[in-house]
Structure 1
């Protein structure tokens, strides 16, 4: 079960012009493309995400933002664990599957997976995978901000990172 959420004052309404200006500006901020998976009593789920970042190395902690309207939200909330799989150049199609309305079974059938210590799915061939336990949750308006303790890390030495920039995939 996830920790209690931090209550924050309701944000002031923004105009459509402000919202679009913000979205356009954020499109200019390159970000690694990840597939986040979960499994457990709440079921198996996965989603594509760019809103993932390091918080601390002591203890190792990641921040993952999850839209409350996401089909993965109920499973992640119930399971309290997740695995962040950092994608490489050959994973564009997989990112598109996990970022769309594709049924869960079809998403997972499109790649090879291993089970992690927490019971989540680690993508075989990911550049890096972070197996995590969610330790706290903060209110992020339309999203939950998940603080995740890293239980295990697996990293490849080769490969090119898949980045999302200016509303398109790029390779680094």
Structure 2
């Protein structure tokens, strides 16, 4: 069915059919340590390396990302479903970061040690669009994890459920 006016619920239902990578986006700085689960992350350009990250302005950690001016995008593997759930929950920041092992690269934003890949970024621009802020982030460091046993499966979200995509080594 085609409608002239698109309702928010119709748009969300349609977007649920767009398969997306699951990421945990983190920050640490003068405003403290914070993080959230995000699917709205994409590449903008490779010269200079830039990512786009969208965040709801009503999120309790939104102001902290703005103040810290840095973030990391941690791309989750299939084994990270519990970390995704923790960072999407109402747990405190302290409780969220008890999940997984964390380190840092250049900016100080937390990097998940066994993420498929982590992008360490400086937030260069913020644009408000409707209910969300769009962060334009210059990538200053990248850490790719060598997967154990040939397993390179990514955690993705499709039709409001987790799925796995990639290559698992066949025994």
Q: TM-score, normalised by structure 1?
A: 0.89
CA RMSD of aligned residues (A): 1.3
- Give secondary structure in 2 for the equivalent of 1:110: coil
Displacement of 1:74 in angstroms is 1.5
Aligned residues: 158
Gaps of 5+ in 2: 166-171
d(CA) in 2 for partners of 1:138, 1:88: 29
Check if 1:99 corresponds to 2:88: yes
1:166 to 152, 159, 162: 159
d(CA) in 2 for partners of 1:156, 1:41: 28
d(CA) in 2 for partners of 1:86, 1:69: 23
2:116 to 119, 124, 127: 127
Gaps of 5+ in 1: 1-13
- Give secondary structure in 1 for the equivalent of 2:18: coil
- Give secondary structure in 2 for the equivalent of 1:96: helix
- Give secondary structure in 2 for the equivalent of 1:161: strand
d(CA) in 2 for partners of 1:156, 1:165: 24
- Give secondary structure in 1 for the equivalent of 2:143: strand
- Write 1 or 2 for the structure with the bigger share of strand: 2
d(CA) in 2 for partners of 1:109, 1:87: 16
Pairwise mapping of residues 1-172 of structure 1 onto structure 2 (< 5 A)? 18-158=7-147, 159-172=152-165
d(CA) in 2 for partners of 1:115, 1:148: 17
Q: TM-score, normalised by structure 2?
A: 0.89
d(CA) in 1 for partners of 2:100, 2:21: 19
d(CA) in 2 for partners of 1:39, 1:114: 11
Higher relative contact order (CA 8 A, sep 6+): 1
d(CA) in 1 for partners of 2:117, 2:111: 9
CA change 1:157–1:112 in 2 (3 A) is closer
> Is the deviation greater in 122-131 or in 65-74?
65-74
Displacement of 1:157 in angstroms is 4.3
Displacement of 1:156 in angstroms is 2.6
